[in-house]
Chains A and B, each alone.
Chain A
């Protein structure tokens, strides 16, 4: 039985095909590094994270995609995958702010159920123009990778997030 968090979390299967990790991707929200499957509140992920790609050669470029495969709800994901962020031309050893932001960061606001938010890193073999998709819902990472010849992903990280002010609890009425 595989204990890879990406397999257990059905990230491999729902979004990605099996791949070999060949790059080091660090995602930091409020200077805290993200680990696979960790639980974060929407208030903690309101601002875009800092992305660090380990390496020394700034000629190596990467594309970062952030998607939600559980939109609008995990039991009925009709908008799978919802595109939250798309940054291209990120140089190795640099921050995502040095890249070209094609689709701006939209903070996660899950309404129903526990949502997975996945950061997928692709290696760019050449510097190329990547166009913003017409809409955020129903984005397909596999098709996107095939369209721009990005090949399999080199790294991926995901976290879980759910509505903060959930149902239940006592309501204080004046």
Chain B
């Protein structure tokens, strides 16, 4: 079975996340590839997932009304901008401004 991989779009629930899984299929009439998104609720026991993380899902028994997937592993962490990192960059370079440091941290 093809592994189910998607992006975490919500982690507001306790031990549950919503994962958006994209798929491409070929449209016969238009002869184009069309993207469709499915959203699955998945169980995150460790509450380790953040929005934007790329995760792999495993099928599971029904855990609740809409939840029958489990987060198997986090494949890639989301790059989260934190002001503290920008401030640290400013202190490291005395001549740099906050705007320059923020631009450097984003790039």
Q: B-contacting residues of A (Cβ < 8 Å)?
A: 1, 3, 8-10, 37, 39, 74, 113-114, 116, 160
Residue B87, interface by CB 8 Å = no
Residue B62, interface by CB 8 Å = yes
Q: Which residue of B lies closest to A114 (CB)?
A: B62
Task: Give Cα A10–Cα B62 distance, bound, in whole angstroms.
Answer: 11
Residue B63, interface by CB 8 Å = yes
**Contact call B63/A114, Cβ cutoff below 8 A:** yes
Residue B3, interface by CB 8 Å = yes
Kindly provide the distance from the CB of B9 to the nearest chain A CB, expressed in whole angstroms. Answer: 23
In the bound complex, residues from chain A placing their C-beta under 8 Å from that of B64 are 113-114
Q: A-contacting residues of B (Cβ < 8 Å)?
A: 1, 3, 58-64
Task: Give Cα A116–Cα B63 distance, bound, in whole angstroms.
Answer: 10
In the bound complex, residues from chain B placing their C-beta under 8 Å from that of A116 are 61
- Given A1-B58, A1-B59, A160-B61, 11 more contacts at CB 8 Å? A1-B1, A1-B3, A3-B1, A8-B60, A8-B61, A9-B60, A10-B61, A113-B64, A114-B62, A114-B64, A160-B62
In the bound complex, residues from chain B placing their C-beta under 8 Å from that of A160 are 61-62
In the bound complex, residues from chain A placing their C-beta under 8 Å from that of B61 are 8-10, 37, 114, 116, 160
